Amino acid sequence: MPNILCNDLCKTYRQGDAVIKALDHVTLEIEPGDFICLSGPSGSGKTTLLNMIGGLDELDRGEISIDGQRVDQLSKGPLADLRLHHIGFVFQAYNLIPVLSARENVEFVMQVQGVPARERRRKSMAILKEVGLDGLEDRRPAQLSGGQQQRVAVARAIVSQPKLVLADEPTANLDSVSATHLMELFRELNQNHGVTFLISTHDERVMRYARRLIRMQDGKVISDEIQKSV
Amino acid sequence: MTLTLRMAWRNIWRHSRRTWLTATAMIFSNVLLVFMIALQFGSYDMMIDNTLKLFSGHLQVQAEGYQDNPKLRSSIADVRSLAAELRTALPEARVAPRAAGFALVSSEDRTFGIEVVGVEPASEPGVSTIPGMVTAGRYLEEADSAAIVIGAAMARNLKVGTGDELTLLGSGRDGSFAAGIVTVVGTFDSGSSDMDRALAEVPLPWFQDTFAMRGHGNSIAVAVDQLGAVADARAAAATVINDRDDLVVLDWNALHPGLRQAIQADLSSAWFMYGVLIILVGFSVLNTQLMSVLERTREFGVITALGVRPRRLASLVMQETALMALVGMAVGLFLGWLVTLYFHVHGFSYPGMEELAERFNLPGEMYPSITFGTMILGPGVVFLFCLLAAVYPALRLFRLHPVDAMRTV
Ligand SMILES: Nc1ncnc2c1ncn2[C@@H]1O[C@H](COP(=O)(O)OP(=O)(O)OP(=O)(O)O)[C@@H](O)[C@H]1O
Ligand SMILES: [Mg+2]
């Protein structure tokens, strides 16, 4: 059974008089443990697709199910719970809560998830070490580089072992070394922990890490191929 | 400290100047409220105390119905021995039996209707300040018989002075004709124009003889050291008269219904002023918290996207407000207490106070009352209103749409 199933997704936005087809009959299956890159020009609908799968926005048409559960039919509360417990998010930038340290950022989400305090502490330390932030646990986001901040965001996204990590241009604000390190981390988490990744990007170097590359344009999927080079 | 509380605390210092400005509004109003309320209650205590000290005492034992319809006939049998019993039961208090009736008083050329009160010259100074306010001649003494002390205004009206004789005419307790000749031994100036015009005091035994009282009296005044002791004294007095169904104990509230009304009128005008002040502080908090929520739209959008429910963010905003209000409360309470303490020790007076002082027979200086209640009342209400003011900004978070929120920069 497929992990995630998107069927005939449509979404239009109105900007003034213009009607923008952000998603135009998108159909997609994502298998558990897959490592997928979404690419396409600006405005092609990548963010919209990620938001839909993550239950952040409402579809005009179509259906999305994760493990057989219809995401598009859930109401706000259960959607929040779905995101909290089963989906990890990494956004382009400003991911972190600025007043909390790296460790507290990770612990905050775990606290909301209802993880007991001692376990929170242990897990957050372990995951920060795993993403390579050993010794930087008590720094605030402002005291971390862009790449380090994204690592904290990744740590926060995966600490409770979600089924799926949605990352929207996670490397956009990073230099190429940090971007490569982040992608290495993603690949390792995918290979060692079986986390499913769906990553939107403009970046050719990021796309090289993908097992499967989906190209979008004007809200449509224009190509969808398995890459052998990985 | 929980993570959310830590987060709240750090958040309020993200804009420390703004937080201090808002907290300063709270501090300012808290200092003002602490001092004003303490002063107000201090002045009420004083007003009550001084009004009661003048004549009525804090408590009175009376025949039932006497307060509303003071007739000579609604009386207390054996009033002096009941007074003695009360003295035993209330060793801390001062007790003075009295009899009182209406009489026509005549000098050589004038006649007026007045209130004549028979008093024990030795006990009276314990419950009334009138004996100490004799400005000409002297007060009554135990050895006096047909002697009278009258108000200064009455003396002027009657055109008499000390040593002059007055004729009293009235009717006795049994309906008989009561008459006597008394000598003015002193005049008093109480500051209360009613009393100075229409009150006269004579020795109780002489009154009882002249008005055919047969040992009866009309009231027993009881004075205690402070207002706080009234309730206990009242209970003790009630036990003493337990077996006498015709008697009641009245406290100052019943004796001076106008006093409480005056206080309540003053209170409600003060509450209005305080209310305006508190609402202004509330708006400043509303403004601050609304700004602080709006500028964090993106941050809150990301947090909501992670699956955190709006309820938690709303509670974060409420905790931030509560912390800020606590800072305002702690500092304001402390400074307010210092200011109040200073005036509590040194006394406080303001221009225009004389007028009030005269009306209610107050001394020229007021002493704010420092109790837990007077200290905490103002800051407590300010705190609640600050929380209330943050409800709207907090509720806005329930309408936050994560995608839109994250698109705002
Ligand atoms: N909330 C919205 N309101 C109005 N228009 C929107 C909204 N969200 C997306 N759009 C529009 O929908 C189209 C698709 O946007 P989307 O953000 O999905 O593109 P994208 O592929 O992520 O682009 P980019 O690479 O620039 O991030 C764009 O034209 C965008 O302007
Ligand atoms: Mg995008």
Report the alpha-carbon distance of residue B379 to residue B102 in Å, rounded: 52
Report the alpha-carbon distance of residue B168 to residue B115 in Å, rounded: 11
Six-digit token string for A18: 């213009």
Q: At what angle do helices B3-12 and B310-346 cross, to 10 degrees?
A: 60
Query: Which of A:9-28 have CB within 8 Å of B?
Result: none
Model confidence pLDDT, tens digit, residues B45-60: 888 888 898 999 999 9
Cβ-based neighbour number of residue A61 at 10 Å: 13
User: DSSP letter string over B189-208?
Assistant: --S-HHHHHHEEEEEHHHHH
All domains of chain A, ordered by start, with CATH? 4-226 (3.40.50.300)
Report CA(B407)–ligand 1 centroid distance (Å): 10
Nearest to A65 by CA among A75, A80, A78, A55: A55
Q: At what angle do helices B310-346 and B16-51 cross, to 10 degrees?
A: 50
Give the 3-state secondary structure of A57-109: CCCCEEEEEECCEEHHHCCHHHHHHHHHHHEEEECCCCCCCCCCCHHHHHHHH
Residues B60 and B248: beta-carbon distance below 8 Å: no
Spatial CB neighbours of A160, under 8 Å, sequence gap ≥ 6:
A85, A88, A109, A110, A113, A115
pLDDT of residue A227: 84
Q: What average pLDDT does the segment B375-386 reach? A: 95
Report the alpha-carbon distance of residue A66 to residue A220 in Å, rounded: 21
Residue B136: C-alpha distances to residues B5, B152, B162 (Å) = 72, 9, 7
Q: What average pLDDT does the segment A220-228 reach? A: 90
Look at A172-181, A202-211, B350-359, B380-389 and tell me which has the smallest mean pLDDT.
B350-359
Q: Say which of B3, B4, B306 has its CB closest to residue A84.
A: B306
The pLDDT > 70 percentage for chain B reads 97
pLDDT of residue B103: 95
- Do strands A61-66 and A69-70 pair parallel, antiparallel, or not at all (unpaired)? antiparallel
Q: Mapping DSSP to helix (H, G, I), strand (E, B) and coil, where does residue B164 land? A: coil
ipTM: 0.93
Band the pLDDT of A230: cuts 50, 70, 90.
low
Nearest CA in chain A to B8: A99
pLDDT of A1 higher than 50: no
Residue B187: C-alpha distances to residues B123, B150, B204, B205 (Å) = 19, 5, 18, 20
Cβ pair B11:A99 closer than 8 A: yes
> CB of A97 within 8 Å of any CB in chain B?
yes
Report CA(A20)–ligand 1 centroid distance (Å): 9
Model confidence pLDDT, tens digit, residues B149-172: 999 999 999 999 999 999 999 999
End-to-end CA distance of chain A: 25
Cβ pair A99:B312 closer than 8 A: no
pLDDT of residue A60: 94
Spatial CB neighbours of A141, under 8 Å, sequence gap ≥ 6:
A96, A97, A98, A100, A102, A105, A149, A152
Report the alpha-carbon distance of residue B203 to residue A128 in Å, rounded: 95
Rounded (5°) CA angle B234-B235-B240: 95
pLDDT of B141 higher than 50: yes
The pLDDT > 90 percentage for chain B reads 80
- Do strands B177-188 and B147-151 pair parallel, antiparallel, or not at all (unpaired)? parallel
Model confidence pLDDT, tens digit, residues A96-144: 999 999 999 999 999 999 999 999 999 999 999 988 899 999 999 999 9
Nearest to B67 by CA among B244, B265, B219: B219
**Which residues in chain B are closer than 8 Å to A109, comparing Cβ atoms?**
306-308
pLDDT of residue B243: 87
Average pLDDT of the residues of chain B: 92
The residue among A205 and B85 whose pLDDT is bigger is B85
Q: What average pLDDT does the segment A22-50 reach? A: 94
pLDDT of residue B361: 58
> CB of A136 within 8 Å of any CB in chain B?
no
pLDDT of residue B1: 67
Q: Say which of B3, B307, B406 has its CB closest to residue A80.
A: B307
Model confidence pLDDT, tens digit, residues B286-331: 999 999 999 999 999 999 999 999 999 999 999 999 999 999 999 9
Q: How far is B297 from chain A (nearest CA, A)?
A: 12
Residues B239 and B162: beta-carbon distance below 8 Å: no
Model confidence pLDDT, tens digit, residues B348-358: 887 777 776 66
Average pLDDT of the residues of chain A: 91
pLDDT of residue A145: 92
Q: Where are the domains of chain B?
A: 3-52+259-406, 59-223
Q: What share of chain A is helix, strand, coil (3-state, %, to 5)?
A: 35, 30, 35
Six-digit token string for A128: 């920060």
**Which residues in chain B are closer than 8 Å to A51, comparing Cβ atoms?**
403
Mutate to test the interface with B, among A97, A115, A124, A149 (most CBs of B within 10 A): A97
